[in-house]
Every structure is written in C-alpha cells, then in structure tokens.
Amino acid sequence: MTSTDLLAVFPDSPTIDVARTLDLSGYSWKGVETPENLAKLQPTEGWAGAVVCCDEDPEGGWAMCRALRRLERPVQRILVLITGAQVGDLEVRDNLFDDFQLSPFHPRELEARLRHMFYNELLAPSSTVVEHAGLRLNLETYQATFGGSPLDLTYMEYELLKFFVQNPGRVYSREVILSEVWGYEYFGGARTVDVHVRRLRAKLGEEHAHLIETVRSVGYRFGSSKWSG
C-alpha cells in the first residue's frame, strides 16, 4: 500500500470505531453510500481494497461486495465486518470477501487483519490465480491451463469457467449463471448457458467433462458436492 491508495468503506459514514481504526492505521479511505456510486467515486487507479460493514446492514453490505467484484477493475481485497450471529452467512459468499472481522472488535485486531491482507498483495497476488482439480486460471493474464497444458477458450467460455472454478461444489440454476456471467441484459436466454457448458466440456475432454455436472431440472455444479465428499 502506498499513501495514495484509497479504500472504499461501506456505509458512507461507518461507526466511529471503524473510522478511527482506519485513520490511526494510516489508510486513506472514502465512504460509499450505494453500489451505484462505486464507479463514480473510485480513483483513476481503482480502489486498493474495501472494508464493508455487514454487521450494520447485511443486505446493503453484501450488495456492495458484489458490486466491488464486478467493477471493470474488480476489487481484490475486501474485508467484511460481521456479527457472531452472521458467521453462517459467510458460507455461501466465499467469492465476495477475502477476510472477515467479527464485530464488536478490538482495534488492534482489525489493524492486524488489514495489514496482513495488503501484505499478501505485495508478495504474490495469489488471488489472481484460482485452481481446482488440476484446472488453473490466471485472472490477471486470462490464461487457463489444465494439468499444465494451455486450454484455449473464447472469452465467454473463459468467463463461465471462471465462475465455476470460483464457486465449486454448489448447484447454480441456468438463470443465476446467465445473470452472473452474461449479465441481465443478455438477450439469448438460459439456453446460451447450455451451449457454452457443452463447449467447455468438449474442450476439457472426455475424461474431465464430468467436472461440470448437470443437475437435472436444476442447473449445473462444478466439481463434486462438498457433502458427497
């Protein structure tokens, strides 16, 4: 982190504890009221990271996390504040945050977590590589490899595979996949998802086509279910 890097903070006026910890730890930050304002308020080099207080407004907080990840320059460092009662919320949202802080918190703990989150970034931007069962996607260079050899994908195939690899073991309906990968404004309909799944399976080859599993009358699941082991 350099002194010019800016953190996005939700809500736009966080509690005094959060604000003071950020100030005393030397972070520059700006409060953001709604996801719509994210792009407008961001510095030219993009947000360096974000602190999102889901303890106060869970719905608004998670919406903010989602929006941060979907920016043209997706924010890779997100710390969420949650209450002890909200720990269960984390399970289905692994893709939306990088670290979490239970609230109420000790300022020294929050400071340590933030420092660690950004220390990682300086070393190796490890979150730019996602892996699953021999499949490796470098989000920085857009390159996919399988068992070490390159996998040539079209842009939409890549985006779909990225979604799967980042969300393994869970079943998603075609509608959810369509809105997450193509965006709501896409005209083609959920059939498009089937077409691209078939293409991905063909490219993964016969032995690995099962990585993307069809869950009848529901949708698709990437990788095995965590319950079935």
Which residues here bind another protein, judged by CB under 8 A? 72, 141-143, 150, 152, 154-158, 174-175, 183, 187-192, 195, 198-199, 201-203
Instruction: Please give the structure tokens belonging to residue 129.
Output: 């590589």
Residue 189 CB, shortest distance to another protein, in Å, is 5
In the bound state with another protein, the residue whose beta carbon lies nearer, of 132 and 199, is: 199
Among the listed residues 125, 166, 122, the one whose alpha carbon sits nearest the alpha carbon of residue 144: 166
Least CB distance from residue 154 to another protein, whole Å? 6
Buried b vs exposed e over 77-99: b needs ≥16 C-beta within 10 Å?
Answer: bbbbbbeeebeebeeeeeebbbe
Q: Which is nearer to another protein, 116 or 198 (CB)?
A: 198
* Burial status of residue 126 (CB atoms within 10 A of its CB: 0-12, 13-18, 19 or more): exposed
Select 59 or 152, whichever has its Cβ closest to another protein. Answer: 152
Contacts of 149 (CB under 8 A, 6+ apart): none
| Nearest residue (CB) to another protein, 154 versus 225 | 154
Nearest distance in Å: CB 187, another protein: 6
Residues 6+ apart with CB under 8 A from 189: 178
Q: How far is the CB of 165 from another protein (least distance, A)?
A: 16
Smallest gap from residue 174 Cβ to another protein (A): 7
Helix (H, G, I), strand (E, B) or coil at 200: helix
Nearer to another protein, 104 or 188 (CB): 188
